[in-house]
Homo-oligomer: A and B are copies of this chain.
């Protein structure tokens, strides 16, 4: 697992203290409506440099939509997102990488998928080959390098997607339920990789349904329900003494399937 460590050593010393970490990304009054449905609304959020923010919430709460908004894939209908202090523009994804809930694989081999992502980010020649090999090893997919990516098993695809995102060395990593279909060992390994990336300075935003995972990884927690921010704050407070009923219910496993959203 030394791969990520070697991948990013630049920032590894200055793991930044939570309190004084500068905001890397800020959302103010963020909302998103599609065809008259208000999917996300009134979200105020600060993602601090070098911190791990875990997004929690029931199915359909708007977690994936929120990640898309932060990543600049969906236009905000209301409010703004600042990335490194500037509104999201054409370069919204510079320095970011996202792993989607449902990994999208090009119709190419595993290796070609990695190479494509690296090429796009400007890696060439031996450097690209090195990073691709490292990513393969990281994902435990060396033996499948030449297999078409789309015939991989669900978990293998998920691992490839994570490795592909990490390989380009992003500053901000957006992960949408990255371990949902991983076996326990792979989950542990990916968590370790996320920890290493974090240690080397990568800022992480991650969606999960796994309470244990949230507890293991989160510095900050954001809890969404019905498209709104039910509660947010440091993991230590939020996960142990939540203020909102929603979070309390979720932690108890009582927060059942969401009720119909109130229409706008």
B154 touches A254 (CB 8 A): no
Q: Which residues of B contact A139 (CB under 8 A)?
A: 257
Structural contact, A154 and B101, CB atoms closer than 8 A: yes
- Among B102, B142, B187, B254, point to the contact of A185 (Cβ < 8 A): B254
How far is B60's CA from A159's CA once the two chains are assembled, in angstroms?
Answer: 11
Given contacts A256-B140, A256-B189, A261-B143, whether A156 and B60 have CB atoms under 8 Å apart is: yes
Cβ-closest chain B residue relative to A262: B143
User: A156 to B101, alpha carbons, bound, how many Å?
Assistant: 12
A181 in contact with B155 (CB, 8 Å): no
Q: Which residues on B sit within 8 Å (CB–CB) of A60?
A: 144, 152-153, 155-156
Number of interface residues of A (CB under 8 A): 50
Chain B residues in 8 Å Cβ range of A63: 153
- Quick one: closest B residue to A259, CB to CB? B143
User: In the complex, which residues of chain B have a beta carbon less than 8 angstroms from the beta carbon of A152?
Assistant: 60
Contact with B along A51-74 (1 / 0, CB 8 A): 000000111110110000000000
Q: How far is the CB of A221 from chain B (nearest CB, A)?
A: 15
- A258 at the binding interface (Cβ < 8 Å): yes
Contact B177 A154, beta carbon cutoff 8 Å: yes
Chain B residue nearest in CB terms to A148: B35
Residues of B within 8 A of A58 (CB): 155, 183, 185-186
Contact with B along A106-146 (1 / 0, CB 8 A): 00000000000000000000000000000000011011100
Q: Which residue of B lies closest to A184 (CB)?
A: B253
Interface residue? A211 (CB, 8 A): yes
* A7 close to B (CB within 8 Å): no
1/0 per position for A192-222, CB-CB distance to B under 8 A?
A: 0000000000000000010100000000000
Residue from the set A59, A147, A158 with the largest chain B CB neighbour count within 10 Å: A59
Closest 7 CB pairs of A and B: A59-B155, A140-B257, A143-B260, A58-B183, A101-B154, A180-B180, A184-B253
